[in-house]
């Protein structure tokens, strides 16, 4: 049985200057693998950002708090559930005393079919409707403004294996603004995404190349940039090199994995990051 992570500490330092190392962040998890606390620190060991999640005995989030000292911003979320442990209400309170409330409506299969957001005066701010197929995938999501006018729409199409093959993004027009075509290899891995505009003209593409072990080894896009991934024999070291369109190296990152396959060491041209894990 794989060990469950309880805590991750990340330490950063300048390359070849171990004396500059400082605690960059701490992540804590519950027994179900949910991140319940994230704290980011400055080089002076001051808290820069904090995210705390509180769950009930069923691991349902019931309270969430975000504090950003660098941005002088904070917000608090509280969640309510029905007798089936399905989310029915989410309240967001901001530091300026504003608040918004999201209410969730569900169908007979307990799937969320409508989300309505209200302000502190119980006026509708926006809403969305969600439509599903018989296997539970989202076929369509429509966003409306406070007057019930469509702001955006996203439609999905799936093949007989349940793989997403088409996504269409609309604003308030009848034709899609963007159309994404997804292509998979015989192993079910995504190897290409084509993006077209409302006139069905190709505006972007991304292609992924795999090796004989079905591992991604290169990702390229229409702009000419490339990400090349190299593995050592036992995959304990992985190197990712990002090339600009002119062939110049923009960034190179080397990762070292531990026995559990988790990154314990990360090196770029100017920074070293190491990770320390604590398990349940």
**pLDDT for 209-265, tens place per residue?**
999 999 999 999 999 999 999 999 999 999 999 999 999 999 999 999 999 999 999
Q: What is the mean pLDDT of the chain?
A: 96
Distance CA 80, CA 67 (A): 22
Predicted local confidence at residue 107, as pLDDT: 94
On whether the CB atoms of residues 25 and 40 are closer than 8 A, the answer is yes
Predicted local confidence at residue 264, as pLDDT: 97
Which residues, in sequence order, are bridge partners of residue 198?
none
Take residue 86 and report the two structure tokens written for it: 């399905």
CA dihedral of residues 191, 197, 202, 206 (deg, nearest 10):
-30
What mean pLDDT comes out for the span 94-104?
92
What mean pLDDT comes out for the span 13-21?
97
- Runs of H (alpha helix) within 119-265: none
* Domain boundaries defined on the chain: 72-163
For residue 198, with 0-12 CB atoms within 10 Å meaning exposed, 13-18 middle and 19 or more buried, which class applies? middle
Predicted local confidence at residue 260, as pLDDT: 92
For residue 102, with 0-12 CB atoms within 10 Å meaning exposed, 13-18 middle and 19 or more buried, which class applies? buried
Predicted local confidence at residue 28, as pLDDT: 98
Look up residue 149 and give its DSSP letter.
Answer: -
Q: Residue 1 above 70 pLDDT?
A: no
Which residues, in sequence order, are bridge partners of residue 218?
209, 228
Predicted local confidence at residue 2, as pLDDT: 77
Element (H, E) at 9: strand 5-14
**pLDDT for 51-76, tens place per residue?**
999 999 999 999 999 999 999 999 99
Q: Residue 180 above 90 pLDDT?
A: yes
**Domain covering 72-163, topology:** Lipocalin (2.40.128)
Distance CA 255, CA 257 (A): 7
Predicted local confidence at residue 95, as pLDDT: 87
- Alpha carbon of residue 129 to chain centroid: 22
On whether the CB atoms of residues 214 and 189 are closer than 8 A, the answer is yes
- pLDDT band, residue 172 (cuts 50/70/90): confident
């Amino acid at each position: 049985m794989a060990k469950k992570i309880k805590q991750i500490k990340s330490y950063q330092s300048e390359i070849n200057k171990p004396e500059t190392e400082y605690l960059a962040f701490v992540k804590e998890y519950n027994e179900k693998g949910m991140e319940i606390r994230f704290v980011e620190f400055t080089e002076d060991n001051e808290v820069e950002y904090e995210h705390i999640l509180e769950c009930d005995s069923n691991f349902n989030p019931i309270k969430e708090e975000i504090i950003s000292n660098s941005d002088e911003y904070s917000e608090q979320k509280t969640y309510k559930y029905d007798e089936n442990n399905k989310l029915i209400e989410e309240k967001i309170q901001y530091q300026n005393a504003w608040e918004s409330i999201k209410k969730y409506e569900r169908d007979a299969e307990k799937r969320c079919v409508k989300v309505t957001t209200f302000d502190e005066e119980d006026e509708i701010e926006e809403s969305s409707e969600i439509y599903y197929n018989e296997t539970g995938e989202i076929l369509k999501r429509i966003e409306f403004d406070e007057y019930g006018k469509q702001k955006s729409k996203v439609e999905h199409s799936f093949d007989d294996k349940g793989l997403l093959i088409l996504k269409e993004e609309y604003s308030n027009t009848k034709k899609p603004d963007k159309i994404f075509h997804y292509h998979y290899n015989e192993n079910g891995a995504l190897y290409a995404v084509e993006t077209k505009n409302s006139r069905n003209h190709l505006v972007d593409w991304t292609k992924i190349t795999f090796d004989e072990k079905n591992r991604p080894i290169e990702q390229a896009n229409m702009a000419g940039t490339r990400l090349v991934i190299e593995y050592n024999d036992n995959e304990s070291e992985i190197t990712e090199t990002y090339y600009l369109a002119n062939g110049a190296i923009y960034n190179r990152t080397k990762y070292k994995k531990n026995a559990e396959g988790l990154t314990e060491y990360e090196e770029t041209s100017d920074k070293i990051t190491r990770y320390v894990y604590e398990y349940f």
